[in-house]
Structure 1
């Protein structure tokens, strides 16, 4: 883990971009390791502060924090020994300065959007990004796996068309083994301690009472996408209903499916699918209302004169939001607006904000979501900037962060660092369209991160098969991906167990969050009692008391 504090003192606009200016630090030779860099830099004028493992809100720091791990592998992390260990890279200029309160730091004369990069013999690997601003310190934090035995260099690169002074301080780098990484994940799995007590009719402890515990349902939501094919295939229905309580429709709610011609609105397919979901107690995300990608507009919308698009888009917004008001718990109001700007280019820079306001006014039960891909692989700072812009433009209602999560080979340490960064918003984060080659590793990482509220896979079936990630073959027999998912679900689900109370009538254990059925039985008295209870997230020990009436 590397951390690095950055502050901008002043800047002057240039007429045109110039070459990137960087700060360079040489590292010791190292074999393949998981390096978790934590670098404090200015992020939207504030720092993402972490203490004792608790994620706190983004806050502005007047002074830099102490480097984690006392700098770890970094030589001279607090710059108490001048520029020892630090050299300029490229055309950057480097100075060592001291503030009035005695804090020592590096001054690098450079430009703005800051990237921390590891340079190895196999190439340059970005660790993390941050938007630094004038006036206070903020944190750039990142994680990465380096599969190379060679000297490694860390340098900081900026990518804007401005010149300013960048201050760096409290730099740390720590290697983490795979065993330590896995241990942290295991400790993060959402469990809660529970204390069972059994007493007799006089309130005295009941020793050797048998306690049987069976999990009825997990609290952590797992879901999967479905297509209209589920309506006509019983095997598909049975497969889906056996494993999921949350869903999203593949295409059936999208504009090009519900209005194939101007004014020819038809919700019959999505209505029928929603009715099926209700009958089976499946909660549905609304996906999607509008799509900022020009490729996925209805063909008739693409032909509209620019002046007619605002009316058509607003009619679409009102139509589908009213149609499913109170029936979906999320709504992907504007899809993929980090990567595309179809509506912004034609309706103005605040188009997304306008749509979010409209959606929330029509359906105040559904949380409006932004939903974007490639937000965990490149910089999550783009997402933070988009959210900041939406707030500045006047939308202050509820908002959710959707992460599509289409992965090939994920860099899990960087994924965790990105989630930490997005978690600083305190907004609900959902994995909305997960498909990946390394499914087990990603689900475990997502499930154990405290900011992730839910995981929905993108593994719907159709008459043609599936898109990328198939859990079963066409006969609904498990493929390796399906086996992997089943194994994950088994690990995080109590299949049922039994134990006995001690001499004081107690039995202590820890359980995953969820709903349980408990049976208390005593063979001597031939008495039994069954009770259901829920394990909600809490640091407090949950107590369950049972009293036998002889």
Structure 2
């Protein structure tokens, strides 16, 4: 086990801000020049991991944003382009245009792709949600959807979020259309169908508010343990890590990652961002940097934590303000694609681990 690392450069900058000292452009330039030799992806690769960022299709037209994404990261996740509403807008009629655009972009930049997501209770097409289905009918629809999408992207994605957000906060099953019509067996079925369509791709369950040890993560622990016992193909657990400063850092994150790894599955931080109540200030940015460093350290301390993905890398294109009014500033780059203290914390944690390895 590696000890928690001291993220000196980022914390020094944050301390200067807290003390009311101006962090001059020259100071920023000096710090960035010191870090310029390696990207986050390059440092992560030295530890056997990836460091990625999600991207949505409209963002690819922002040339400076898309170029930086291709330089700093080695993996990406389509924000929306592979969701059901996009891939099967009419029953049995598939449209892979949006997903293919991101796969093609990723290939041109040398990035690998996480597939997201085969089933979710949101962003479903109206033909599916407005229909009245028997269990057998819905199983057939679900099987066909998973089979067609996974086959299309076979060899083009390295992992799939097969089932997304299937638990409530209290650890009970979310009563989505699949649970209410088919029952909990749809989860194992979905994993089996995905595996049949692409036996080599890594299959994940993925959710938010599962970073701490508690009822929701306990429910996933129990489910994955049972799936493994039943020989259902399950390769990984995705902790989204949409965190917020006002709610506190997740309790025992590292121990939680480790217990899932001990089940024999990979763990990934899949949608990391750390929002705050606006306006941002020196204190909040320092705390945010510390948290980004802690999340990175937690992953680095568990061998089977295979990688980290931030949910977009810049506040310029963050989803947070539109969903959480009055909150934002959640990402390691600001609206001008400049590094925030959080970037330094991530970089320093990765660099320290890369040296050790």
Q: Same fold (TM over 0.5)?
A: yes
How far 1:455 sits from its partner (Å)?
A: 0.7
How far 1:511 sits from its partner (Å)?
A: 5.5
Which residue of 1 is the match for residue 204 of structure 2? Answer: 369
Judge conservation of contact 1:460–1:467 (CA < 8 Å) in 2: no
Judge conservation of contact 2:207–2:239 (CA < 8 Å) in 1: yes
Which residue of 1 is the match for residue 237 of structure 2? Answer: 401
Task: Give the Cα separation in 1 of the matches to 2:38 and 2:104.
Answer: 28
Q: Does 1:312 align with 2:141?
A: yes
Which residue of 1 is the match for residue 295 of structure 2? Answer: 442
How far 1:461 sits from its partner (Å)?
A: 6.5
Cα shift readout 1:101-156 (whole Å, capped 9, x = no counterpart): xxxxxxxxxxxxxxxxxxxxxxxxxxxxxxxxxxxxxxxxxxxxxxxxxxxxxxxx
How far 1:422 sits from its partner (Å)?
A: 2.0
**How do residues 419-430 of structure 1 correspond to structure 2 at under 5 angstroms?**
419-430=257-268
What secondary structure, in the 3-state scheme, does the structure 2 residue paired with 1:296 have? coil
Which residue of 2 is the match for residue 222 of structure 1? Answer: 51
**How do residues 18-97 of structure 1 correspond to structure 2 at under 5 angstroms?**
none
Shift of the 422–398 alpha-carbon distance from structure 1 to 2, 3 Å rule, reads closer
Task: Give the Cα separation in 1 of the matches to 2:192 and 2:107.
Answer: 27
The runs of 5 or more residues in structure 2 that have no matched partner are 7-36, 169-173, 276-287, 321-329
Which residue of 2 is the match for residue 352 of structure 1? Answer: 187
Which residue of 2 is the match for residue 232 of structure 1? Answer: 61
Task: Give the Cα separation in 2 of the matches to 1:262 and 1:398.
Answer: 27
What secondary structure, in the 3-state scheme, does the structure 2 residue paired with 1:289 have? strand
Q: Does 1:485 align with 2:316?
A: no
What secondary structure, in the 3-state scheme, does the structure 1 residue paired with 2:307 have? strand
How far 1:385 sits from its partner (Å)?
A: 1.0
Task: Give the Cα separation in 2 of the matches to 1:333 and 1:310.
Answer: 15
Task: Give the Cα separation in 1 of the matches to 2:256 and 2:345.
Answer: 27
* CA-atom RMSD in angstroms: 2.7
Q: Does 1:466 align with 2:318?
A: yes
Task: Give the Cα separation in 2 of the matches to 1:352 and 1:453.
Answer: 23
Q: Of 61, 84, 93, which residue of structure 2 is paired with 1:264?
A: 93
Task: Give the Cα separation in 1 of the matches to 2:222 and 2:63.
Answer: 45
Tell me which structure has the larger Cα radius of gyration.
1
Which residue of 1 is the match for residue 11 of structure 2? Answer: none
**How do residues 135-154 of structure 1 correspond to structure 2 at under 5 angstroms?**
none
Task: Give the Cα separation in 2 of the matches to 1:242 and 1:490.
Answer: 18
Judge conservation of contact 2:82–2:115 (CA < 8 Å) in 1: yes
How far 1:446 sits from its partner (Å)?
A: 2.7
Which residue of 1 is the match for residue 227 of structure 2? Answer: 390
Cα shift readout 1:13-71 (whole Å, capped 9, x = no counterpart): xxxxxxxxxxxxxxxxxxxxxxxxxxxxxxxxxxxxxxxx6xxxxxxxxxxxxxxxxxx
How far 1:215 sits from its partner (Å)?
A: 6.5
Which residue of 2 is the match for residue 301 of structure 1? Answer: 128
Task: Give the Cα separation in 1 of the matches to 2:350 and 2:331.
Answer: 22
Task: Give the Cα separation in 1 of the matches to 2:38 and 2:196.
Answer: 39
Shift of the 489–317 alpha-carbon distance from structure 1 to 2, 3 Å rule, reads same
How far 1:338 sits from its partner (Å)?
A: 2.4
How far 1:467 sits from its partner (Å)?
A: 1.1
Cα shift readout 1:164-186 (whole Å, capped 9, x = no counterpart): xxxxxxxxxxxxxxxxxxx8213
Judge conservation of contact 1:473–1:479 (CA < 8 Å) in 2: yes
Query: Which structure has greater helix proportion?
Result: 2
Judge conservation of contact 1:412–1:445 (CA < 8 Å) in 2: no
Which residue of 2 is the match for residue 417 of structure 1? Answer: 255
Judge conservation of contact 1:229–1:461 (CA < 8 Å) in 2: no
What secondary structure, in the 3-state scheme, does the structure 2 residue paired with 1:426 have? coil
TM-score, with structure 1 as normaliser: 0.48
Question: Which 10-residue stretch deviates more, 274-283 or 397-406?
Answer: 397-406
TM-score, with structure 2 as normaliser: 0.72
Task: Give the Cα separation in 2 of the matches to 1:184 and 1:471.
Answer: 23
**How do residues 325-344 of structure 1 correspond to structure 2 at under 5 angstroms?**
325-339=154-168, 340-342=174-176, 343-344=178-179
Query: Which structure has greater strand proportion?
Result: 1
Which residue of 1 is the match for residue 5 of structure 2? Answer: 186
